[in-house]
Structure 1
Amino acid sequence: MLPALFVSHGAPTFPLTDAPARLFLEQLGAELPERPRAILVISAHWETAAPSVTASAVNETIHDFTGFPAELYAIRYAAPGSAWLVDRVAGLIETAGGTVARVPGRGLDHGAWVPVRLVYPEADIPVVQLSVQTALGPDYHYKLGQLLAPLREEGVLIVGSGSFTHDLSSFRQYYNALHAPAPAWVDQFADWMTDAIEEGRIDDLLAYRNRAPQAVRNHPTEEHLLPLFVALGAGSGGSEAGRAEHLHASTTHGILRMDAFAFGGAA
């Protein structure tokens, strides 16, 4: 059975950089236990009031950024959609009393296509994207992941795509130094989170904003960490904690920890 993954998708220029996290993602597909039937991506870059899923026959590539090299805008990732997966995701959420909007014509934002393209460059696996509800916080997204857990038994790779740390107010200071080391306040937060994940401390993780050192500084807003909680919930299913594996740790631009985790099974 496939694990649920959390990956850090980095800055928009990540596909063009020679970074350890890019090399990790390029090798990840070969290390997973099976080829996915379809991929469900929960990206930090699609925020809605209630859950929404992409419902396109073929996914457009959304370049949701400005001021970057022309080479980046030339990238296309036209993976097919999946009507079956759209209905399955909606059904799992609606059976639990939620509502889901199907959004035809919306493609994949860079939080979705950047990591998935690195793992599966042929764009031949169906991809559906699910939005986050930032105002509802970690506990809601953990429970959302638990609702989605049955998809793993059906050959669906669940990918939470965000950033392990994400203080963009400090980004200009480090942007031109791709391999700058992380400052202490970044590693303090990342190390605490890693320990809590590996030790299965779900209560601490759900309350990370009050318990983790430098939490608010590393995540002034929560959207880039919420996909982690979806993956965590999907990996544990109905239990309090599932097996977690720390797949990768590195830093780009000093303030972006690019860590990745697998939940519920070894990658």
Structure 2
Amino acid sequence: MTKQPSLFLPHGAPDLLLTEHPAKRFLAELGSRVGRPEAILVISAHWESPRLALTTASTPETVHDFYGFPAELYEYRYPARTDAGLSRRTIELLADLGYAAEADGARGFDHGAWVPLLLAFPEADIPVVQLSLLAGGTARQHFEIGRALAPLRAEGVLIVGSGSVTHNLRALGPEGTPPPVWATAFDDFVAFGTESGDWDDLMHFPDAPDSARLAHPTPEHFLPFFVAAGAGDTDHGTRLHRSFSHSSISMSAFSFGDGALAA
């Protein structure tokens, strides 16, 4: 059984699937670089719960949790089945940290989960379990949650945090427009902290650095990063990809862990 890395991936706008963006090409090539995991545990920015929760439907629905996009986007499906064993193991590991995770048999895969997975693993033949963020949880809490989940990697589970290093929808611009200074500054701050292993500095988010509040008016799109970083259980990570979408949305991707991918 191959030890898996932990990844933080961008999911971008849902219409990433319809573009020729560099991040789409990166995600489409990622599956062959990772290999075939036994299962995938994905944490998306688009599911926050007062208590940690897991998808437990046998084949969760593909949720089109967006509006105003081309009709063809609503035809996409990601029919991956879940893995009851992975759900139980995740619940056990979280319980050791003091978190009672709930089973959610009605929850489907939101676009933060299925968009990057559809690109990286298009056959949808690898079991997938989605774990929620902790509503109101801090960066440090989510890093600790990732630390608790780290043993799954040695069991062949690929851990994926899905979000964005910058996410300010009020600052979107035409595709191809150069990113604003605050977006590149925060993206560089995250890359430097990751590659130097300065987790404590990163966990001041969202109070620091000065660009953090502009990069994230609300924190949920960056919190999956901390789960992925914690799950890496190592002293640093690697940036795998950098590009920007709609001017200000960072599409940077990172790998963590002793099984991490090379840039």
Q: SS in structure 2 opposite 1:208? A: coil
Q: Which residue identity does 1:178 align to in structure 2?
A: E
Aligned pairs (5 A) from 1:79-94: 79-94=80-95
- What is aligned with 1:19? 21
% identical equivalent positions: 48
**1:213 shift after superposition:** 3.4
Instruction: Check whether the contact 1:193–1:212 (CA below 8 A) recurs between aligned residues.
Output: no
Aligned pairs (5 A) from 1:116-135: 116-135=117-136
- What is aligned with 2:230? 233
Q: SS in structure 2 opposite 1:136? A: coil
Q: Answer yes or no: is 1:63 the counterpart of 2:76.
A: no
Aligned pairs (5 A) from 1:188-203: 188-203=185-200
Aligned with residue 261 of structure 1, among 232, 246, 254: 254
- What is aligned with 1:76? 77
- What is aligned with 2:239? 246
CA distance in 1, matches of 2:155, 2:178: 40
Q: Which residue identity does 1:225 align to in structure 2?
A: F
**1:18 shift after superposition:** 0.8
- What is aligned with 1:44? 45
**1:108 shift after superposition:** 0.3
**1:24 shift after superposition:** 0.2
Q: Which residue identity does 1:257 align to in structure 2?
A: S
Aligned pairs (5 A) from 1:110-149: 110-149=111-150
Structure 2 length as normaliser, TM-score? 0.96
Q: Answer yes or no: is 1:183 the counterpart of 2:180.
A: yes
Q: Answer yes or no: is 1:28 the counterpart of 2:37.
A: no
CA distance in 2, matches of 1:40, 1:136: 19
Structure 1 length as normaliser, TM-score? 0.94
CA distance in 2, matches of 1:105, 1:207: 35
CA distance in 2, matches of 1:20, 1:146: 31
Which segments of structure 1 move beyond 2 Å, counting only runs of 4 or more? Answer: 208-211
After superposition, give the CA deviation of every residue in 1:74-116 in whole Å (9 maximum; x if it has no partner): 0011011111111111111112221111001321000000001
CA distance in 1, matches of 2:117, 2:125: 11
Instruction: Check whether the contact 2:8–2:162 (CA below 8 A) recurs between aligned residues.
Output: yes
Q: SS in structure 1 opposite 2:65? A: coil
**1:209 shift after superposition:** 2.5
- Bigger drift between 200-209 and 144-153 goes to 200-209
Q: Which residue identity does 2:12 align to in structure 1?
A: G
Structure 2, unaligned runs of 5 or more: none
Size of the alignment, in residue pairs?
258
**1:5 shift after superposition:** 0.2
Q: Which residue identity does 2:51 align to in structure 1?
A: A
**1:242 shift after superposition:** 3.0
Q: CA RMSD in A?
A: 1.0
Q: SS in structure 1 opposite 2:61? A: coil
